[in-house]
């Protein structure tokens, strides 16, 4: 591990599974953190078996979400497993988990359980619904939380059914919030020598992301609803338009962009039409304006509009995943990286989105199940060979 990596002195014990927690921790691993992923002996994380391309207790899904983490198998439900865990904690800065409700306390993952062995330990919990409240013990997944928090009610066409986002936006957002909280708490622990508890949930994160929509609703009784063509709730035009050969998104989030759009459309009359002067008037006369704009946008191809508008009016094509990965800007931003895997060969994955001056992230494959168990127990817990062999015989590791 390069000394230049800024998190090289941070070690995290992680009882994490599936998507939200592992992905966020992998970003820290890329930047030098020693993330030790604890999995139950035998089957391990269910992410190892998510198709397609799942074989031998590993999968492309697992590799994409757990990059760079070391692997330790440990049965935390076994009394000896708890003893092993508590021997490892003093060598770590944080314990991270993304199990539901009361499970962190039952598994001894809380600050209350660990403060006696390491007062500065930071314990971060990411769950579906948090550690308190009537749904604390319910399993919570991205899709469920999108339903609970209004996301699905706001997504899709007005005449259609509720729709979830095609990407697990709540999972990934909550993962980022959790590691942000983790890093803040680690900073405090450095100052005070005292750790603490962090309680982050998918539910709280998603509700917070309602942001101005929630404020409109709670403060003024406005009920946000689904909009046609994925349009902004109040700014017009800011939506998808059908072109001669596809779809394009145009975002006139400033008055100057609306004026420039009218000019490039060859319709300067629209910018002086009293129905369309200012954000509020355009919102009030949305349907009349969109009827005109939809006709105009069908006159050119996607590329034709991009050639005309790009750099003048915020716009972009509606890409498929393959097109998104092939875009020249993704290449210029070095957003695709290669990772070697003994079974899958060369894997192409998404790079760390954090660009830190003078730092080149370290990209390494995720561990096989329990790959580093012996070295972690030996180096961090002080276990000798006979103790490790005994733990294996008893099924603890």
Arithmetic mean of pLDDT, 142-153: 96
Q: Is the pLDDT of residue 3 over 70?
A: no
Which pTM does this prediction carry? 0.92
Fold of 11-208+333-393: Rossmann fold (3.40.50)
Residue 361 burial (CB < 10 Å; 0-12/13-18/19+)?
buried
Q: Give the start-to-end residue ranges of the domains of the chain.
A: 11-208+333-393, 247-317
Instruction: Indicate the angle between helix axes 385-393 and 373-381, nearest 10 degrees.
Output: 130
What mean pLDDT is predicted for residues 125-140? 93
The whole-angstrom separation of Cα 304 and Cα 264 is 12
Angle CA 138–150–18, to nearest 5: 45
Q: Going by C-beta distance under 8 Å and a sequence separation of 6 or more, which residues neighbour residue 46? A: 17, 18
Place of tokens 């349907």: 287
Query: 201 pairs with which residues across the strands?
Result: 127
Integer Cα distance of 370 and 320 in angstroms: 37
End-to-end CA distance of the chain: 26
d(CA 301, CA 2): 48
Where does the pLDDT of residue 1 fall: very low under 50, low under 70, confident under 90, or very high at 90 and above? very low
Assess whether pLDDT exceeds 90 at residue 100: no
Contact 217, 181 (CB under 8 A): no
Active site residue 171: yes
Q: Which helix (H) or strand (E) holds 280?
A: helix 278-284
SS3 294: helix
**Whether the predicted pLDDT of 369 surpasses 70:** yes
pLDDT computed for residue 151 by the predictor: 95
Give the chain's mean pLDDT: 95
DSSP 121-145: -EEEEEESS-SSSTTTTS---HHHH
User: Into which CATH architecture does domain 247-317 fall?
Assistant: 2-Layer Sandwich (3.30)
- Give me the catalytic one of 30, 58, 171, 199: 171
Q: Which residues pair with 238 in a beta bridge?
A: 251
As to burial, measured by CB atoms within 10 angstroms (0-12 exposed, 13-18 middle, 19+ buried), residue 343 is exposed
What is the reported pLDDT for 19?
A: 83
- Residue 272 near residue 217 (C-beta atoms within 8 A): no
């Amino acid at each position: 591990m390069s000394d230049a990596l800024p998190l090289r002195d941070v070690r995290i014990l992680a009882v994490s599974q599936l998507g939200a927690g592992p992905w966020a921790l992998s970003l820290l691993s890329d930047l030098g953190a020693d993330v030790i992923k604890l999995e139950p002996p035998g089957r391990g994380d269910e992410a190892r078996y998510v198709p397609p391309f799942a074989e031998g207790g590993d999968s492309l899904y697992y590799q994409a979400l757990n990059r760079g983490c070391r692997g330790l198998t440990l049965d935390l439900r076994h009394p000896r497993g708890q003893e092993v865990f508590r021997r490892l904690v003093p060598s770590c800065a944080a314990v991270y988990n993304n199990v539901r409700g009361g499970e962190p306390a039952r598994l001894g993952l809380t600050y209350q359980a660990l403060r006696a062995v390491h007062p500065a330990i930071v314990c971060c919990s990411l769950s579906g619904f948090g550690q308190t409240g009537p749904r604390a013990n319910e399993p919570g997944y991205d899709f469920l939380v999108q339903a609970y928090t209004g996301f699905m009610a706001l997504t899709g066409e007005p005449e259609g059914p509720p729709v979830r986002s095609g990407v697990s936006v709540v999972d990934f957002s909550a993962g980022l919030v959790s590691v942000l909280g983790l890093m803040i708490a680690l900073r405090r622990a450095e100052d005070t020598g005292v750790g603490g508890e962090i309680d982050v949930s998918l539910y709280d994160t998603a509700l917070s992301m309602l942001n101005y929509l929630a404020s409109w609703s709670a403060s003024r009784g406005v009920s946000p609803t689904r909009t046609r063509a994925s349009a902004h709730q109040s700014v017009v035009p800011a939506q998808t338009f059908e072109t001669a050969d596809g779809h394009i998104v145009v975002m006139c989030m400033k008055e100057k962009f609306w004026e420039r759009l009218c000019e490039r459309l060859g319709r300067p009359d629209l910018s002086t039409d009293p129905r369309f002067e200012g954000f509020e008037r355009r919102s009030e006369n949305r349907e009349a304006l969109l009827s005109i704009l939809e006709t105009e946008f069908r006159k050119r191809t996607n590329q034709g509009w991009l050639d005309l508008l790009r750099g003048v009016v915020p716009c972009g094509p509606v890409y498929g995943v393959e097109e998104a990965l092939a875009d020249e800007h993704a290449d210029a931003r070095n957003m695709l990286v290669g990772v070697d895997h003994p079974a899958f060969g060369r894997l192409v994955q998404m790079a760390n989105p954090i660009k830190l001056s003078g730092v080149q992230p370290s990209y390494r494959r995720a561990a096989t199940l329990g790959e580093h168990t012996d070295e972690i127990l030996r180096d961090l817990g002080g276990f000798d060979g006979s103790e490790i062999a005994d733990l294996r015989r008893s099924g603890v590791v």
